[in-house]
Structure 1
Amino acid sequence: MGSGASTLTPPSSPELDSYRRASPKHRDKAHQRRNFVRTNEVAPVIIRDCREEFQHVSDFKDPIVFGSIADNMPEHPLIKGKYFLVRDVNDKMDKKLSMEQYRTPNLHKVNGPFSVYACGQPTERGLSKLLNHLAQDDPTEILLFNMREEPVLFVDNGMDMIPFSIRDQDNIHNIVSFGRSPTEADEAEARIRKEVIDLATMKEENKFYFYNDLENLQREPHEMHIQYEDKLLVSEEVYARHILCSHCVRYQRLCFPFSGAPRYQDVDAFLNIFKQSRKYLEKSSFYKPAMLFTCQTGMGRSTTAMVMGCLMTAHKTGFPSETRGKHSQKASLERGDYRAVQRLVKLLPNGQTIRNQVDTVVDACSELYNLRSEILKSKHTLDDIKTDYVLDDKSAKETLYKRCCDYLERYVFLIVFNAYLTEQYPLWFTSDFSQWMQQQPDLTRLMGTISDPTWQTPTDLIFKGVQNLVADDYVGLDLLSTQSDVRVSNFRKINISGMSVYGMAQPARDGVTKVSNHLLTKKAGHTFLALINLRNDCTLECDGATYSVRHASCLDDPISHPYMSRQELEVSTVTNVLLGCSQNPDL
């Protein structure tokens, strides 16, 4: 068990001098008198002649799991039984070669008049260098955003605090992400730090194991002395050290996801930073803060946030003049003219102008990462796959398809975000982004269809055996035996006093007629009937029966379209299916 000692040397006193001059016999008696034990909330403290020895008593009760990062590598305790601590960034990530000067990878500024910066994860000294670099432009304020949702710990190597992240032993090259809120992310870091200290102090050496380079394991792992919390800091402590020393720096952790669009609550937290300062909302004021966004590499999440920051600034100071240019009428995937984007432009007032503004800002922030180019690059890679293979322990086609959808979702989100700013910035953000989205069902529906491959499924799949038309009714469905009376299964009245509410299975035309006639008779006593269809899948009637489209691998469940409108279901999908049937004489 690890231990630490602290020695206090008080001024000499007559009592102490007499104690030192005492004979051995009297010294033993005096020693017994001056030895006493007191307790505190941590552990027993034995005090001997003004010397206090503290023993670290750990409450760690989980089973300790040992593991090695590779064959023939030393085994050591694992965090939570399966995680290693690996250095967060390496030199290969640094495309901008900023590690040596600023102790952070990929520091870059937006190409334009906006004071918006992004970078990878800095060390503690690197963060100080970054803030000094931003302060050279004499900004009114520095807004510092930490975009990371994954836990990060900063380890003292004697010269700096180096960031480390946890990696799963089954997928050592990918950072573990919990998808938590900022508060939960901070709490997760604190729990991991406590476990690391507990594991380190179980032995007298008080050491734990860290990895710097996963590609060269010959000199790994590194044993570092970890006994106190000062040797292992969480993100909040690293950033807070610099915030407390400066009155012009504000900090916010946002927890943007690795892929896809940010969550609405994180967008609200981003906007709250600006809403707290009335000067920023006044276009006539000279309040011009600098913004710095940090993630692991300074590319994906940071670039998305850079675009958001530039859009905020542009609505205050004005967009560059090139955003007024005409958009080509010919669709081009290089310009991002995907079907979802085209639909979004039609839904938004002045949609093309709003999109042009986003494209201009995306291009200005594209020094390391262009969102439109990433969509097209992933699409080309997906199209080039002839035979599926394993990528990141999954199907390569599924992985690349999801990557395409994630990039497209970010691009669509930025256009929606700019539409929100266009409406709400002049109103000083009377509605949060999450509240505003609740009032935009068409936009919510559109964003929900981006990753759904069925909403634009080619209708000829039905004729190729990939999808099938399956009858809704089957033997055993009609548990209430109502087919003989009203030509529809399970027709019944809901037992609610004073309310005439009925339910039934999917009827055909004959069933609708029978039910309507039954409910509108004098015996039933109803003069008006409202029929409500709750289905969100494509349904066809043929020869007095209804059929739904189902995938050949799962004939029990219809293919649902939760975000498609009634017009898209009935007019587009059904019409195309009927047209396909007319063109296939064998059907």
Structure 2
Amino acid sequence: MSIPKELEQVMKLRGGSVLGKKTILKSDHFPGCQNKRLSPQIDGAPNYRQADSLCVHGVAIPTIVGIHNVLKHIGAQKGGKAHVLWINLREEPVVYINGRPFVLRDVERPFSNLEYTGINRDRVEQMEARLKEDILLEAARYGNKILVTDELPDGQMVDQWERVSCDSVKTPLEVYEELQVEGYLVDYERVPITDEKSPKELDFDIVWMWKSVDAIYVFLHDVMVNKISQADISTEVVFNCQMGRGRTTTGMVIATLAYLNRIGASGIPRNDSIGRVSDYASNVTDNLPNSEDAIRRGEYAVIRSLIRVLEGGVEGKRQVDKVIDKCSSMQVWLSKYPYLFRLALSLKSGLK
């Protein structure tokens, strides 16, 4: 990306605690990412979809108008009958400027996310609050304008000045708090997850793999599943990430598994032994190859082995397959299949 010298100088002079040297504010809303097969198509909210007729929804990062439109579509506007739990899965610090989302990026790598693996909600929201302060301080030096970078449909990057005020720069938390004040029936949660990352269970033997998912399992179970489970059974749950694909779809699958378990429609019998590994599990092998077709069906060699040695394994896999089908109008990262398989069983057994 070739940057005019005067604009490059602006970036070099940046000295904020978050908006620092050689960082840019890149437009984070991509109407062009809309999957044309999805319906309805909601203005300002690309890739909106619902998991069948269940209370689970997904969307790419929306504009502020897009958030309003999604909530109205679901029926969570003032005077509406629906209540929404909106779960933002973005790990990256995001800020809204004049109703559009912008994300912090390295000027040398504008298309790559800045990763903050392991960051929690408090820290990312503190970063967003400081980013807002940095923007307003910098804008004061340039006639209440901030330099931002837009991405054109053909992928070209264009730097331009955006006029701002104290009221036109908002963190995501502030956006949802204002919606609540306006009467929208929405609760907001932030569960930061690194894009396209998953535990590498498939590289290990069956018993080690089953234990290795504990970190991500505990994190997602305690934060996401518990939030969903604590909400009223009729609550509409909406997930968003950046493009509304990997993280959002995984969240939708998790929420659907939890929902079906709550209404007693999981298809998995409830007892204390569900999901337990038998003593001879380490001796079980499966020499069948992981063909492409088998992997698409979730039939990893390690999953086939788990099905044979775990209580409720067959029912658990059947349930995960069914839920993925309900949520796969965009995509599912199949590398997360082992985690989802364990979650299906653990919801029934109380496994920790």
Q: TM-score range by the shorter chain?
A: 0.7 to 0.9
What is the Cα deviation at residue 206 of structure 1?
Answer: 2.4
Count of residues paired in the alignment:
301
Higher RCO (CA-CA < 8 Å; seq separation 6+): 2
CA offsets per residue over residues 12-52 of structure 1, 9 Å max, x none? Answer: xxxxxxxxxxxxxxxxxxxxxxxxxxxxxxxxxxxxxxxxx
Letter in 1 for 2:227: I
What is the Cα deviation at residue 367 of structure 1?
Answer: 0.7
Q: Is the 1:209–1:221 Cα contact (8 Å) retained in structure 2?
A: yes
Letter in 2 for 1:223: W
Percent of counterpart pairs with the same letter? Answer: 24
**Matched residue, 1:126:** 66
Assess, with a 3 A threshold, how the Cα gap between structure 1 residues 71 and 155 changes in structure 2: closer, same or farther. closer
**Matched residue, 1:552:** none
Structure 1 consecutive aligned stretches of length 4 or more whose deviation exceeds 4 Å: 97-100, 136-140, 214-219
CA offsets per residue over residues 290-315 of structure 1, 9 Å max, x none? Answer: 11111111111110010111111111
Letter in 2 for 1:102: D
Q: 2:105 aligns with which of 167, 173, 183?
A: 167
Letter in 2 for 1:335: R
Assess, with a 3 A threshold, how the Cα gap between structure 1 residues 318 and 214 changes in structure 2: closer, same or farther. same
Cα distance in 2 for partners of 1:114, 1:236 equals: 26
Q: Are 2:54 and 1:114 aligned?
A: yes
Q: Is the 1:147–1:256 Cα contact (8 Å) retained in structure 2?
A: yes
Q: Are 2:347 and 1:421 aligned?
A: yes
- The TM-score normalised by the length of structure 2 is 0.76
**Matched residue, 1:154:** 96
CA offsets per residue over residues 187-214 of structure 1, 9 Å max, x none? Answer: 01111222222222124x1221112225
Assess, with a 3 A threshold, how the Cα gap between structure 1 residues 227 and 131 changes in structure 2: closer, same or farther. closer
Cα distance in 2 for partners of 1:219, 1:342 equals: 47
Q: How does 1:518-529 map to 2 (within 5 A)?
A: none
Q: Are 2:190 and 1:253 aligned?
A: yes
Q: 2:305 aligns with which of 343, 353, 356?
A: 343
Q: How does 1:71-470 map to 2 (within 5 A)?
A: 71-72=3-4, 74-75=7-8, 76-77=10-11, 78=14, 79-96=19-36, 101-111=42-52, 113-135=53-75, 141-156=83-98, 161-179=99-117, 180-203=119-142, 205-213=143-151, 220-228=158-166, 230-246=167-183, 248-258=185-195, 259-260=197-198, 262=216, 264-277=218-231, 280=232, 287-319=233-265, 332-372=294-334, 408=335, 410-424=336-350, 436-437=351-352
Q: Is the 2:76–2:186 Cα contact (8 Å) retained in structure 1?
A: no
Assess, with a 3 A threshold, how the Cα gap between structure 1 residues 215 and 364 changes in structure 2: closer, same or farther. closer
Q: Are 2:23 and 1:70 aligned?
A: no
Cα distance in 2 for partners of 1:270, 1:219 equals: 35
- The TM-score normalised by the length of structure 1 is 0.47
Tell me the secondary structure at the aligned position of residue 264 of structure 1: helix
Assess, with a 3 A threshold, how the Cα gap between structure 1 residues 227 and 109 changes in structure 2: closer, same or farther. closer
Q: How does 1:9-20 map to 2 (within 5 A)?
A: none
Q: Is the 2:76–2:185 Cα contact (8 Å) retained in structure 1?
A: no
Q: Is there any run of 5+ residues in structure 1 with no aligned partner, and where?
A: 1-68, 281-286, 322-329, 373-407, 425-435, 438-587
What is the Cα deviation at residue 320 of structure 1?
Answer: 7.7
CA offsets per residue over residues 316-339 of structure 1, 9 Å max, x none? Answer: 234488xxxxxxxx8723312212
CA offsets per residue over residues 265-308 of structure 1, 9 Å max, x none? Answer: 3431223324545xx5xxxxxx4221111111111111001011
Letter in 2 for 1:336: G
Tell me the secondary structure at the aligned position of residue 260 of structure 1: coil
What is the Cα deviation at residue 347 of structure 1?
Answer: 4.5
Assess, with a 3 A threshold, how the Cα gap between structure 1 residues 127 and 247 changes in structure 2: closer, same or farther. closer
Cα distance in 1 for partners of 2:164, 2:3 equals: 26
Tell me the secondary structure at the aligned position of residue 141 of structure 2: coil
CA offsets per residue over residues 464-501 of structure 1, 9 Å max, x none? Answer: xxxxxxxxxxxxxxxxxxxxxxxxxxxxxxxxxxxxxx
Q: Is the 1:149–1:255 Cα contact (8 Å) retained in structure 2?
A: yes
Cα distance in 2 for partners of 1:219, 1:320 equals: 47
Cα distance in 1 for partners of 2:323, 2:92 equals: 27
Q: How does 1:51-66 map to 2 (within 5 A)?
A: none
**Matched residue, 2:281:** none
CA offsets per residue over residues 415-438 of structure 1, 9 Å max, x none? Answer: 1111111113xxxxxxxxxxx44x
CA offsets per residue over residues 83-116 of structure 1, 9 Å max, x none? Answer: 11111022321114779743111001113x4121
**Matched residue, 2:273:** none
What is the Cα deviation at residue 264 of structure 1?
Answer: 2.8
What is the Cα deviation at residue 227 of structure 1?
Answer: 4.5
